[in-house]
Structure 1
């Protein structure tokens, strides 16, 4: 993990409670955008239905910032080609080090360049072109109201979607993440395994159309102090086993609020390959283009 400076505000100890007192500092949506993807080099500049991936995500960030209020956005990159394209789109740019090892670390590095440190930071991955702006703005509202360290969206699976997820995991066991939540919506755990195990599933299916399984939508918002802690902390044991960075927070006793959302119609886990680009174009052809003008 790369060493990065501490923010101006001291991070609280793990597990500390946070008063949801309104913070006057502006919030920030960061779009991390690397050129050097191993499976799809130059990914942010790849086109989906005539628009670059970066153009689509920048439009989401801009619309979400407007919805949230008191919020800015920035593209964080280490590549001059991506920076030039972002600037042509009218997006602010933060140049970050090439060897940062995650989107969250790049988001933190971008936040440190703000004249006023943001209260909260959204990590809107540059390969997520179909996230509705309202979900991004909703994460900021959740962070402002709850005082949680992290907020992330989840959506309930009906039985048909749960069956499809189970079938998908036969060939791609590490694709798709589920979440177990408490009654207040705080995350208890995330896993690449489908949780919870369902005893008496037949009776559950007969009781209604929705399963008790929640699937995670890979989008995160952080209090700046919590993001600073994450950028400095070593990966956790279960984080390493599952390959899920949000477990670093839970293993350290930090809080993750989950925001219940409706599953986006164009839901894709991310754009990582040329096959994913084709799937995204097929979704647009089938469902229409959700691009935010």
Structure 2
């Protein structure tokens, strides 16, 4: 099955304007932009036929082409990354069996997260979209709770049924738990990893569906699938010693740089 990875990136982020071009220093002090680090993460994935950056901004286009990425220009009217991936897929033509959306703010995404995601979708013929979830240890859960206490929107959490079909996604920390956890404890909370794998038919249909109240309230694009009765598969992935965090706010830059240094990532 042929696989396309599209990396949607926009300059006019509400929470963090210019985010794709923010520089991140690795363990050796080497500084690369967020979009380049996300592109490197995509290129490390096995079994992928093509990787493109999908953007509506010439500054991102120029930066991406300078480090060797293929760029697909998309409309400024795209409401979210899924709509941008749908436009990129249409511009490239048919021929891909699975389209992966690796959002441009997830440079710490290990290749095996995406490989497991693609395999999970291949193995679940009834699912039209799949997304990874990672069980939180106490340190990650405490970081999520600290963001909410400070009024910041940090990571997203997921709850799912025994068959791993999604029940809900939220920027709040769900499910509620009052139990204290040490940093290394495993918790009942799952961190949603901002990557999606779509079957092309569902991706093509997505922009035509109305935006429902849950998507509007949470600002989470995957809820549009659920509000329109489509099945979303949660694929549990393993950290294997890697730390994971997405760049949502300026405060996340030193956190991600610290993680990169600890893991020895350049």
TM band (smaller chain): 0.7 to 0.9
Give distance in 2, aligned partners of 1:44 and 1:168.
21
Aligned 1:1-293 pairs, distance under 5 A: 24=1, 26-49=2-25, 50-64=31-45, 67-69=46-48, 71-147=49-125, 148-159=127-138, 161-172=140-151, 174-197=153-176, 209-263=185-239, 265-273=242-250, 275-289=251-265
Local SS of the residue matching 1:68: coil
Structure 2 gap ranges (5+): 26-30
Displacement after TM superposition at 1:257 (Å)? 0.8
Displacement after TM superposition at 1:174 (Å)? 4.1
Give distance in 2, aligned partners of 1:256 and 1:211.
23
Cα RMSD (Å): 2.6
Give distance in 1, aligned partners of 2:262 and 2:129.
34
Out of 103-112 and 209-218, give the one that drifted further.
Answer: 209-218
Local SS of the residue matching 2:207: helix
Preserved CA contact (<8 Å) 2:15 2:248: no
Indicate how the Cα distance of structure 1 residues 276 and 158 shifts in structure 2: closer, same or farther if over 3 A, else same: closer
Indicate how the Cα distance of structure 1 residues 281 and 221 shifts in structure 2: closer, same or farther if over 3 A, else same: same
Displacement after TM superposition at 1:278 (Å)? 2.9
Preserved CA contact (<8 Å) 2:108 2:246: no
Structure 1 gap ranges (5+): 1-23
TM-score by length of 2: 0.85
Match of 2:28 in 1: none
Give distance in 2, aligned partners of 1:44 and 1:160.
26
Give distance in 1, aligned partners of 2:113 and 2:102.
11
Give distance in 2, aligned partners of 1:103 and 1:141.
22
TM-score by length of 1: 0.78
